[in-house]
């Protein structure tokens, strides 16, 4: 079973390239972030034509997440628990049947948090704590679980080409990395990190200052696996070539293969 995460950075602007990549990669499940589309305007038809069931939790012009699955959804939950007043569309969770039972998948788009001296950073930290609490509850179910998405966290210096350039950024501040460790220390495995050693691989290159040309990237897109999902992990990859295509997102897809 191939599971992917991809911050598409505007699904309507990139629907053709998304369809092309889905045809090539053919993931069984794909979590999208930054769809930037309300649910009623999401371009479902081209994806359904590829055989995907589509669930969305969007909003106009900003944020938004979606889950595409070749298998039907058994249950869908939108919004991260813990703050009923939070209007930002950043979390979508679904249960998907597999041969051995079910797998629970969540599309996650964690807040950026910049500038860090503003309430945006407080919101980021609070959102991360809500995610930790919810992930802890999900892990008690002892199911195969994948938290897939753009976490807007650079966990270590190995996850940036030039970590010194990020020391004052909300993605790399000590409190951000501490909250991310608290999440993974619940028992979640960073799928790419246990299959790749050393620097990278990167998943984001800014549009500015020739970052892509200089390979000045960071790794902020993750597939975090429960112990039950980790036991099934066969391989991971990052489809870096997607960043070099016309009208590309500034992120690239990250994929993990789980044995059923």
How do the pLDDT tens digits run along the chain, 260 residues long? Answer: 999 999 999 999 999 999 999 999 999 999 999 999 999 999 999 999 999 999 999 999 999 999 999 999 999 999 999 999 999 999 999 999 998 899 999 999 999 999 999 999 999 999 999 999 999 999 999 999 999 999 999 999 999 999 999 999 999 999 999 999 999 999 999 999 999 989 999 999 999 989 999 999 999 999 999 999 999 999 999 999 999 999 999 999 999 999 98
d(CA 61, CA 212): 25
Quick one: residue 215, left, alpha or beta (phi over 0 = left, psi -120 to 50 = alpha)?
left
- pLDDT digits 0-9 by tens, 213-231: 999 999 999 999 999 999 9
How many other CB atoms sit within 10 Å of the CB of residue 89? Answer: 24
Does the pTM of the predicted model rise above 0.85? yes
Geometric angle at alpha carbon 153, from 91 and 86, rounded to 5°: 30
Closest to 108 measured CA to CA, from 206, 222, 190, 22: 222
Return the structure tokens found at 9: 């950075």
In 79-158 the beta strands, taken as DSSP E runs, fall at: 91-98, 101-109, 145-150
Burial group, residue 37, by CB count within 10 angstroms (0-12, 13-18, 19+) = buried
pLDDT in tens, 125-159: 999 999 999 999 999 999 999 999 999 999 999 99
């Amino acid at each position: 079973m191939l599971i992917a995460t991809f911050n598409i950075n505007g699904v309507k602007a990139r629907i053709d390239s998304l369809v092309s990549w889905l045809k090539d990669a053919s993931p069984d499940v794909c979590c999208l972030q930054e769809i930037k589309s309300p649910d009623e305007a999401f371009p479902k038809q081209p994806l359904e034509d590829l055989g995907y069931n589509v669930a969305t939790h969007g909003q106009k012009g900003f944020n938004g997440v979606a889950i595409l699955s070749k298998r039907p959804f058994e249950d869908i939950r939108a919004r991260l628990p813990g703050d009923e007043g939070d209007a930002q569309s950043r979390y979508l969770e679904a249960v998907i049947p597999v041969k051995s039972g079910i797998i629970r998948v969540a599309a996650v788009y964690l807040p950026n948090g910049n500038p860090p001296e503003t309430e945006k950073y407080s919101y980021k930290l609070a959102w991360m704590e809500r995610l930790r609490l919810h992930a802890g509850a999900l892990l008690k179910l002892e199911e195969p679980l994948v938290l897939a998405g753009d976490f807007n966290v650079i966990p270590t210096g190995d996850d940036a080409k030039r970590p010194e350039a990020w020391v004052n950024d909300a993605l790399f501040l000590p409190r951000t990395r501490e909250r991310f460790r608290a999440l993974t220390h619940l028992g979640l495995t960073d799928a790419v990190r246990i299959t790749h050693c050393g620097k990278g691989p990167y998943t984001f290159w800014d549009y500015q200052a020739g970052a892509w040309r200089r390979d000045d990237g960071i790794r902020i897109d993750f597939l975090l696996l429960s112990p039950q999902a980790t036991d099934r992990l066969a391989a991971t990859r990052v489809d870096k070539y997607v960043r070099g295509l016309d009208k590309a997102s500034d992120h690239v897809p990250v994929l993990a293969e789980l044995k059923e």
